Chains A and B, each alone.
Chain A
Amino acid sequence: MSHAKTPHVVDARYMEPPGPFVATMEMLDTLKEGEKMLLLLFREPHPLYKVLRQNGHDYETELLPDGTFEILISR
Chain B
Amino acid sequence: MLAFENAPPFAAPLRFFLSAPLFAVLAGLLVAFEGPDIFASRWTPGALAATHLITIGFMLQVMLGALIQILPVVAGASLKNPLTVARIVHPGLSAGALLLAAGFMAGMPVLLASAAFVLGLTALFFLAVTARALIGVANTSPTICGIKLALFALAGVVGLGVFLALALAGGWSIPLMALADLHAGWGLGGWAGVLLAAMAYTVVPMFQLTPGYPARAGWGFPNFMLVMLVLWSVAVFADWPWLARLGQLGCALAGIAFAGLTLRLQGKRRRARPDATYRYWQLGLIATILALILLATAAVWPAAADLDGWTLIFGALLMAGGFLPFITGMLYKIVPFLSWMHLQNAGQAKVPAPAMNKILPEIGMHRQLLAYTAALALLLAAQFFPALLTRPAGLAFAAANAWLWWNLLGAIRRYHHHRADIEARLTTP
Contact = CB atoms under 8 A, between A and B. Distances in A.
Contact of B73 (A46, A51, A63): A46
Interface stretch (A1-9, A13-21, A29-37): A13-21
Contacts of A22: 1
B361 interface: no
A13 B205 contact: yes
B424 interface: no
Given A43-B205, A46-B74, A67 B212 contact: yes
Contact of A13 (B2, B72, B212): B212
A67 B213 contact: yes
A73 B166 CA distance: 54
Contact of A44 (B2, B143, B211): B143
Contacts of A46: 6, 72-76
B5 to A, nearest CB: 9
B73 A47 contact: yes
Main secondary structure of the interface of A (DSSP, over half): loop
A51 B215 CA distance: 26
A63 B145 CA distance: 14
A21 B140 CA distance: 20
Contacts of B213: 42, 67
Main secondary structure of the interface of B (DSSP, over half): helix
Interface in B87-120: none
Nearest to B205: A42
Contacts of A21: 1-2
Contacts of A16: 206-207, 209
A43 to B, nearest CB: 5
A68 interface: yes
What is the interface residue range for chain B against chain A?
20 to 34
Contacts, number: 74
B3 A69 contact: no
Nearest to B4: A47
Contact of A65 (B75, B141, B214, B337): B214
B212 A68 contact: yes
Given A65-B215, A66-B215, A67-B218, A14 B74 contact: no
Interface string A57-75: 0000101111111000000
A48 to B, nearest CB: 7
Given A43-B141, A61-B140, A65-B216, A50 B206 contact: no
Contact of B2 (A18, A61, A64, A68): A18
B16 interface: no
B202 A50 contact: no
B201 interface: yes
Contacts of A50: 3, 6, 76
A9 B214 CA distance: 21
B202 A43 contact: yes
A16 to B, nearest CB: 7
28 contacts: A13-B205, A13-B211, A13-B212, A16-B207, A17-B206, A22-B1, A42-B205, A42-B206, A43-B74, A43-B141, A43-B212, A44-B74, A44-B76, A44-B140, A44-B141, A46-B6, A46-B73, A46-B74, A47-B2, A48-B3, A50-B3, A63-B140, A63-B141, A63-B215, A67-B201, A67-B205, A67-B214, A67-B218
Interface of B: 1-3, 6, 72-76, 140-141, 143-144, 201-202, 205-207, 209, 211-216, 218, 270, 337
Interface of A: 13-14, 16-18, 21-22, 42-44, 46-51, 61, 63-69
The 10 closest A-B pairs by CB, nearest first: A67-B212, A42-B212, A47-B3, A46-B76, A42-B205, A43-B202, A44-B141, A14-B270, A67-B213, A14-B209
